[in-house]
Amino acid sequence: MAIKMKILSAVTASLLLIANTLCHAQADSLSDYPMAAIPGGIVSVPLGITSHERPTVKLGKQPVLTVQETSGEWVAVVGVPLEQNGKLTLTSQQKQWTVEVGTHDYPEQHITVENKRHVNPETNDMTRINKEYALMGPAYKGYNGIVAEGWQKMSWPVKGPLSSPFGFKRFFNEQPRKPHSGLDIAAPAGTTILAPADGKIVLTGEFFFNGNSVFIDHGQGLISMMCHMSRIDVKDGQIIKRGDAIGAVGQTGRATGPHLHWSISMNNTRVNPLLLVADPNGNQ
Ligand SMILES: [Zn+2]
């Protein structure tokens, strides 16, 4: 995966630039977060609600994460779908909010995969893949509990060069496939993977494309998925703290070398993990 770091830093810089210009004025707890009203980004939407109880706000059918600011106002923190165009509308039983979403032209990435079944799965592979989607879907759609420390800053699960950024339009053996829904961090096989934030393990397994994978529910629909692991050291249902070891880097599933694929999902929408880590440049 020969991605030029120049492209990566340009993408990161433009994301952060967009984030800075589109960022809403925030109170304390959200102010440190770069937001980006672009596909694959995150927007914060002040709701004008100061109720004691947490309001239920949805994007389509999916409830979104809400945070109460020190002023008492509730703010929705919403993952913007990669396929989103134009306006994004949030709804509650009483109200509706509309957010403008800009465009972002993610670069193309061309990857050569040796295992042809990882590009064009056979019929029995498809049976397996569909079973796996049926397990992963509910893990992504879960909306449980409360984020332990409020809207947490995440820490890097492993350190290493970013070998494939989020959102790139992908071609495997020159055939177009879905955009890259996470961030690839290159690291030697066997490197310990640390939980980026507190949470609960909601799914572990060995999947056709993703290899050995762990899903962590951080609360309110904020989910991490770690893929291509050589080893899984946690069990379904286990409660974990930030920094706990969850397994090791590998290249199981569709991977051209050892790396961690880290997806972050909010409201069942995959977003750029760089927008959630406390130190976006601290991966080295
Ligand atoms: Zn990846």
Q: Which domains does the chain have, with CATH numbers?
A: 5-100 (2.60.40.1590), 108-275 (2.70.70.10)
Please, are residues 111 and 256 in contact by the beta-carbon 8 Å criterion? yes
Give yes or no for residue 153 having a pLDDT over 60.
Answer: yes
Measure 181 CA to ligand 1 centroid, in angstroms.
7
Instruction: Write the CB contacts of 115 (distance below 8 Å, at least 6 apart in sequence).
Output: 254
**Confidence grade of residue 278 (pLDDT, cut at 50, 70, 90):** confident
* Lowest pLDDT segment from 72-76, 106-110, 151-155: 151-155
Measure 52 CA to ligand 1 centroid, in angstroms.
40
Q: Which two tokens stand for residue 218?
A: 């951080």
Please, are residues 211 and 253 in contact by the beta-carbon 8 Å criterion? yes
Q: Please give all residues whose CB falls under 5 A of ion ligand 1, grouped by chain where several chains appear.
A: 182, 184, 261
At 109 the pLDDT is: 86
Q: What is the DSSP string of 13-24?
A: HHHHHHHHHHPP
33/96: higher pLDDT? 96
Cα gap 213→225, rounded to integer Å: 7
**Confidence grade of residue 160 (pLDDT, cut at 50, 70, 90):** very high
Please, are residues 15 and 275 in contact by the beta-carbon 8 Å criterion? yes
At 281 the pLDDT is: 86
**Average pLDDT rounded to a whole number, residues 136-141:** 95
At 177 the pLDDT is: 86
Give yes or no for residue 1 having a pLDDT over 70.
Answer: no
**Confidence grade of residue 148 (pLDDT, cut at 50, 70, 90):** low
Measure 254 CA to ligand 1 centroid, in angstroms.
9
pTM: 0.86
CA 261, chain centre distance (Å): 10
Which of 5, 77, 3 minimizes the C-alpha distance to 44?
77
DSSP state of 154: B
Measure 262 CA to ligand 1 centroid, in angstroms.
7
Measure 161 CA to ligand 1 centroid, in angstroms.
13
**Confidence grade of residue 25 (pLDDT, cut at 50, 70, 90):** very low
Measure 184 CA to ligand 1 centroid, in angstroms.
5
Cα gap 182→136, rounded to integer Å: 15
At 64 the pLDDT is: 96
Q: Considering the chain, what is the average pLDDT of its residues?
A: 86
Q: What is the DSSP string of 215-244?
A: EEEEETTEEEEEEEESEE---TT-EE-TT-
Instruction: Write the CB contacts of 217 (distance below 8 Å, at least 6 apart in sequence).
Output: 139, 142, 144, 145, 199, 200, 201, 202, 223
Give yes or no for residue 33 having a pLDDT over 60.
Answer: no
Whole-number percent of the chain with pLDDT over 90: 64
Measure 182 CA to ligand 1 centroid, in angstroms.
5
9/102: higher pLDDT? 102
Measure 36 CA to ligand 1 centroid, in angstroms.
21
Cα gap 113→56, rounded to integer Å: 43
Give yes or no for residue 105 having a pLDDT over 80.
Answer: yes
Measure 171 CA to ligand 1 centroid, in angstroms.
13
Give yes or no for residue 111 having a pLDDT over 70.
Answer: yes
Q: What is the pLDDT of residues 232-255, one digit of tens each?
A: 999 999 999 999 999 999 999 989
**Average pLDDT rounded to a whole number, residues 190-200:** 96
Measure 95 CA to ligand 1 centroid, in angstroms.
37
Measure 261 CA to ligand 1 centroid, in angstroms.
4
Residues of 92-131 as b/e, b for ≥16 C-beta within 10 angstroms? beeeebebebeebebeebebeeeeeebbeeeeeeeeeeee
At 17 the pLDDT is: 35
Dihedral sign from CA coordinates of 149, 242, 214, 173? positive
Cα gap 246→113, rounded to integer Å: 27
Which of 280, 267, 232 minimizes the C-alpha distance to 81?
267
Give yes or no for residue 21 having a pLDDT over 80.
Answer: no
**Average pLDDT rounded to a whole number, residues 46-54:** 93
Please, are residues 233 and 216 in contact by the beta-carbon 8 Å criterion? no
Measure 1 CA to ligand 1 centroid, in angstroms.
11
